[in-house]
Chain A
Amino acid sequence: MYEIVRREVLAEDSDLFEIYAPEIAKKAKAGQFVIIRINETGERIPLTLADFDAKKGTITLVALRVGKTTHLLGTLKAGDEILDVVGPLGNPTEIDNYGRVICVGGGLGIATIITICKALKDAGNYVIGIIGARTKDLLIYEDKLRGICNELHISTDDGSYGHHGFVTDVLKKLLDEGDTIDIIWAIGPAIMMKFVCKTTESYKIKTIVSLNPIMVDGTGMCGACRVEVDGKTKFTCVHGPEFDGHKVNWDLLLSRQQMYLNSEKLSFNKFKEKIRG
C-alpha cells in the first residue's frame, strides 16, 4: 500500500498526488513513469513522474480525470492509500549540455516538463519554456516554471491569457526569429506533440517527445504499448517513453489510444451511476 500524503486540485479535472514511495523516489529520474493500480479490481495505468523527492521519500503524479480510473483516483484524499505503485519505469531523459533548448508543455504535460526543464537547466542549458492550455484556468505551474526557465512563453486556445492560439504558433515565431535552438522537448497530448513535430521538422531541429500509449504491465511483457518509430515497432515502456518525434508514426499512436473507447465509456457510465447511488 502506498499512502497519499498530499492531494491538490491543480485545475478543473486535474489532480496532483504526492505519494509516499521512498524506494521509487530514491531511484527516479526525469522522464520516467510509474504504473499504479488503485484497488483489487482496478486496471493498471501509467502516469509520468511530475516530481520526486528522495529526502521526503515521495513521488508526485498528476492525472487528468477522463475515465473511470482517473475519476476514482480523483475521489482519494491525503491519508488514503493506493494498492500498487511500480517504478521507476522507462528510460530517463538524456540530460546533457545541449546549449539552447526549448521545452514545450501542453495541458498536464506541463507538470512533466518541469522535471526535465530543471534537469536541463542544472546541466547548463539556456532553457526556453512554452506552455499552453485550453483556457487560463487550466494553465498550471506558471510560477514554478518562471523560476526555472530562462524565458517562459504562454498560449491559450481561447486567448484568455498569453498568446491567443496554440503552442505551435509561439514555437514557430521563436524559431523564425532566428536564435539557434539545439534541441526541443515536447510533452502533452499526442495531438499536440504531433503538431509540434510537424512544425519543427522543416527547421531540422531534433525534437524529443514522451509517448503515452495504453499500457498493461510496463515491463516489456505484453506489447500493448507498441508504437512505430522509424518504421520499426518499439515498446514504449522499455524502449521509451522518449523518442525522436520526427520518426514517430503519430496516426498509429492516436488510433491505438482509441482501442478501448467503447469499453471506457461503459466503465465510466457504470461508475457515474454508482456514485449517484
Chain B
Amino acid sequence: MNMEKRKPSKRKLKVEMQQQEIEVRIRNFNEVPFGYSEEQAIEEAKRCLQCKKPKCVEGCPVDVDIPAFIKLIEDGKFDKAAKKIKEKNSLPAICGRVCPQEDQCEKVCILGRKKEFEPVAIGRLERFAADWEAEHGTVKVPNTPPPTGKKVAVVGSGPAGLTCAFDLVKMGHQITLFESLHKAGGVLVYGIPEFRLPKKIVQREVDYIRSLGVNLRVNSLIGKLYTIDELKGKYDAIFLGTGAGLPMFLGIPGENYNGVYSANEFLTRSNLMKAYLFPEWDTPIKRGKKVAVVGGGNVAMDSARTALRLGADEVYLVYRRSEKEMPARIEEIERAKEEGIKFMILSNPVEVIGENGWVKALKCIKMELGEPDESGRRRPIPIPGSEFMFDIDLFIVAIGTRPNPLISQTTPALKTTKWGTIVVQEDVPKTSLDGVYAGGDIVTGAATVILAMGAGKEAAKAIDEYLKKK
C-alpha cells in the first residue's frame, strides 16, 4: 500500500465529459454525453481527497462507499470499483446518469468547499465504473445464501421495486416482481428518455436482477389481476412500489383538444412504445412544429427536449415562477437551454384555443412572485389584464403526477393520505396491513430515482427482519 504517499491532484475543475455536438444531438435520440475514457476516469479519481470522514457517503441515500470505489478507479481496478458500488447500489449505471448528485454526494464533497474548486465528479465516475463492467463482461452473479423458503411479492418494477427485489433475493428470499406494463423498469423505461438514459442500460440492470433468480411477471396489474388480499394468501410479505403514475392536468378550458398530451403520455409513446421510430414501430405520436410545455421539473425538460428531437422548430417552456424556483436539475435546465428551448417564465396557461378539434394556440397570463408559500418558494400571483396568446400545434402538460389509486381502491384496509399516498410507520416502511410494506413515490409523492431506491432498500431490510420473526 502506498496510501501515505498518495497526493490528490491539484486540478480545480472536474474532468469534462465529452458530449454530442448540440446541432447534431437535437435531431437524434442518442445519449448526450459519451462518458469518461479510462484515462479521464483515472484523472478525475485522482482529485478525490480520500477523506478519513467522508461527507459524500452521508450524502448518498444508499450509503455507497464512494472514496473506496474512487480509489479503485484511480488504481485502474475498474471491475472492483463497480463491484464496490454494487455492494450498496444495484443500479449504478442508472444512478450515475440520473441521480441529482449536486444535491447529494457532490453537494457535501469536501473538495467542493474549497474556493474555486468543483466537487469530485462522483456521478460520472459511478457511471464509468458501471459501464466498464458491463462492456467488459465481468458481471458476475453473486452467491446467494441458502433459500429461506420465504416468498415475497414486490409490486412495481421501478427503482423502488427493483432495489427491494435485488436486496431481498440476495438475502435468500424467493421474489416475484409484478409489473403492469410489458417491460420492467417503471419510470426508467416509460418516463426518462433514451437520450438521458439508454433503455439498453435499464434492460441490462433488469436482466442482472433476474439472473439472481427474481421471477419477473410483466403484464400483471395488481389491484385487477390479483388484489393485495389474494397476494397475502400466497406470499409471506408484500412490498408496494407502485409509484406516482397518474398525470395531473391544469383543469383549463380546451385541455382535451387533439394535440394536448400529458407528459406521461407523450413520453410513454416516445420512450416505452418507441414512437420516435414510427412507422418502423407501430405507435404514432404527434410531431409538433411549434410546441409549448408547461412545467418546470425534469419531466418538463424531458418533454421539451423530446419534442425538439421529434422535429419541432420552436419549443416553449411555460413556467409560472422564475427559473430559480424550477424543481428540475440545473444540469437539465442548462441542457434544455443549450438546445434552444425557449423559457417563458412567470407565465401560466389559462386556456387552450382550438380549431377543428385540434390545439391552435395557447392563452397565458403573466405572473409575479409574492410571499413564500408552504413549499418555501415564492407564490406566483397572476397580474390582472396581462393575458397574451401565441400559436402552437402541440401542448404538453408536465405539472406533476399523483399516486395511482388502483391498489388503495381495491384494498380498503390500506391506510392512505388525502393525496392518495400510502401511510407507513415512521420507524419502518410498514403500512397499516400486517406484512405489507411500501416505498418510493407511492409513499412520498413524486420524487427522485435514488430516493425511491433508498426506500426500496430500507423496506427490504424491514421485510427481512419481519420474515425472520415470522
A interface with B by C-beta (< 8 Å): 23-24, 27, 37, 41-44, 68-69, 83-89, 216-217, 219-224, 226, 228, 233, 238, 252, 255-256, 258-260, 263-264, 266-267, 270
Q: When chains A and B are docked, how far (Å) is the Cα of A42 from the Cα of B281?
A: 6
State which of A24, A37, A68 has its C-beta within 8 Å of the C-beta of B225. Answer: A24
CA distance A224 to B267 in the complex (A): 12
Q: Taking each of B181, B218, B226, B404, which has the highest tally of chain A beta carbons within 10 Å of its own beta carbon?
A: B181
Known pairs A221-B245, A264-B284; A252 contacts B224 (CB<8 A): no
Interchain CB contact (< 8 A) of A220 among B219, B245, B282: B245
- Collect the chain A residues with CB atoms within 8 Å of residue B264's CB: 221-223
Q: Which residues of A contact B262 (CB under 8 A)?
A: 222-223
Q: How distant is A250 from chain B, measured CB to nearest CB, in Å? A: 13
With A217-B181, A226-B256, A259-B258 as contacts: A43 and B282 at CB distance below 8 Å: yes
| A-B CB proximity, top 7 nearest | A263-B284, A222-B265, A255-B357, A43-B282, A86-B219, A223-B262, A43-B283
Given contacts A23-B225, A41-B274, A258-B357, contact A220 B268 (CB under 8 A): no
B404 near A219: Cβ-Cβ < 8 Å: yes
Assuming the A-B contacts A255-B357, A260-B284, A266-B279, are A221 and B273 also in contact, with contact meaning beta carbons closer than 8 angstroms in the complex? Answer: no
A202 CB to nearest B CB, Å: 27
Enumerate chain B residues within 8 angstroms of A258, measured Cβ to Cβ. Answer: 258, 357
Number of chain B interface residues as a range: 35 or more
B280 touches A41 (CB 8 A): yes
* Inter-chain pairs besides A217-B181, A221-B190, A266-B279, 15 sampled, C-beta below 8 Å: A83-B182, A86-B221, A87-B225, A219-B181, A220-B246, A220-B405, A221-B247, A221-B268, A222-B247, A223-B261, A238-B406, A255-B357, A259-B286, A264-B284, A267-B278
B residues adjacent to A (C-beta < 8 A): 180-182, 190, 218-221, 224-226, 245-247, 249, 255-256, 258-259, 261-262, 264-265, 268-269, 273-274, 278-284, 286, 357, 404-406
Distance from B394 Cβ to chain A, minimum over Cβ atoms (Å):
12
Q: With both chains docked as a complex, state the minimum distance between the C-beta of B155 and any C-beta of chain A, in angstroms.
A: 13
Question: Who on chain B is nearest to A90 by CB?
Answer: B224
Indicate if the CB atoms of B281 and A41 lie closer than 8 Å: yes
Knowing A221-B246, A270-B279, say if A27 contacts B225 (CB, 8 Å). yes
Q: B190, B226, B258, B283: which has the most chain A beta carbons within 10 Å?
A: B283
Contacts of B245 in A (CB 8 A): 219-221
Q: Are B268 and A233 in contact (CB under 8 A)?
A: no
26 chain-A/chain-B pairs, Cβ below 8 angstroms: A23-B220, A24-B225, A27-B224, A27-B225, A44-B273, A86-B219, A87-B225, A88-B224, A219-B404, A220-B404, A220-B406, A221-B190, A222-B268, A223-B247, A223-B262, A223-B265, A224-B265, A228-B256, A233-B255, A255-B357, A256-B357, A259-B258, A260-B286, A263-B278, A264-B284, A267-B284
Contact between B218 and A84, CB atoms less than 8 A apart: yes
Measured in the bound complex, the distance between the Cα atoms of B219 and A37 in whole Å is: 10
A222 to B268, CA, bound (A): 8
Chain A residues, Cβ within 8 Å of B247:
221-223
Q: Which residue of B lies closest to A259 (CB)?
A: B258
The one of A84, A228, A238, A256 in contact with B182, judged by C-beta atoms closer than 8 angstroms, is A84
Residues on A with C-beta less than 8 A from B280 are: 41
Q: A221-B245, A221-B268, A267-B279 known; A87 and B224 CB under 8 Å?
A: yes
Q: Is the CB of A37 within 8 A of B182?
A: yes
Q: Are B219 and A84 in contact (CB under 8 A)?
A: yes
Cβ-closest chain A residue relative to B246 = A220
B180 closest partner in A (C-beta): A219
CA distance A205 to B148 in the complex (A): 60
The answer to whether A256 and B224 touch across the interface, beta carbons within 8 angstroms, is no
Give Cα A44 to B181, complex, Å. Answer: 10
Q: B180 — which chain A residues lie within 8 A by C-beta?
A: 86, 217, 219
Contact of B282 among A69, A89, A223 (CB under 8 A): A69
Query: A218 CB to closest chain B CB, in angstroms?
Result: 8
The chain A residue with its CB closest to the CB of B262 is A223
The answer to whether B219 touches A41 (Cβ under 8 A) is no
Partner of A42, one of B265, B282, B404: B282
Chain A: which residue is nearest B274 at the CB level?
A41
Of B225, B249, B405, which is within 8 A of A223 by CB?
A: B249
Distance, CA A88 to CA B219, complexed state (A): 10
Closest chain-B Cβ to A58's Cβ sits at a distance in Å of 16
Name the CB-closest residue of B to A24.
B225
> Distance in Å from the Cβ of A123 to the closest Cβ of chain B?
23
In angstroms, Cα B258 to Cα A255, docked, is: 8
Expressed in whole angstroms, the Cα–Cα distance for A219 and B190 within the complex equals 13
Interface centre among A23, A41, A258, A260 (most CB of B within 10 A): A41
A97 vs B417: C-alpha distance when bound (angstroms): 36
Residues of the B chain whose Cβ atoms lie less than 8 Å from the Cβ of A264: 284
Least Cβ–Cβ distance between B178 and chain A, in angstroms: 11
CB–CB A88/B278 < 8 A: no
Give the nearest-CB partner of A83 in chain B: B182
Q: Determine the distance from Cα of A23 to Cα of B182 in the docked complex, in whole angstroms.
A: 16
Q: State in angstroms the CA–CA spacing of A259 and B406 once bound together.
A: 28
* Cα distance A260–B265 in the bound complex, in angstroms: 14
Chain B nearest CB: distance from A52 CB in Å?
A: 13
The answer to whether B249 and A233 touch across the interface, beta carbons within 8 angstroms, is: yes
How distant is the Cα of A266 from the Cα of B283 in the complex, in angstroms?
Answer: 12
- Measured in the bound complex, the distance between the Cα atoms of B246 and A42 in whole Å is 24
Shortest C-beta distance, B254 to chain A (Å), equals 11
Residue from A87, A219, A252, A255 with most neighbouring chain B CB atoms (10 Å): A219
Q: Nearest-CB distance from A46 to chain B (Å)? A: 13
CA distance A42 to B280 in the complex (A): 9
Nearest CB of chain A from residue B195's CB, rounded to whole Å: 20
The distance in angstroms between the C-alpha atoms of A157 and B218, with both chains bound, is 44
Are A89 and B221 in contact, CB atoms less than 8 angstroms apart?
yes
CA distance A252 to B245 in the complex (A): 25
Measured CB to CB, the closest approach of chain A to B91, in angstroms, equals 22
A221 to B406, CA, bound (A): 11
Complexed CA–CA distance, A258 and B255 (Å) = 16
CA separation between A256 and B282, bound complex, in Å? 19
Q: Which residues of A contact B281 (CB under 8 A)?
A: 41, 43
Chain B residue nearest to A84 (CB atoms) is B182
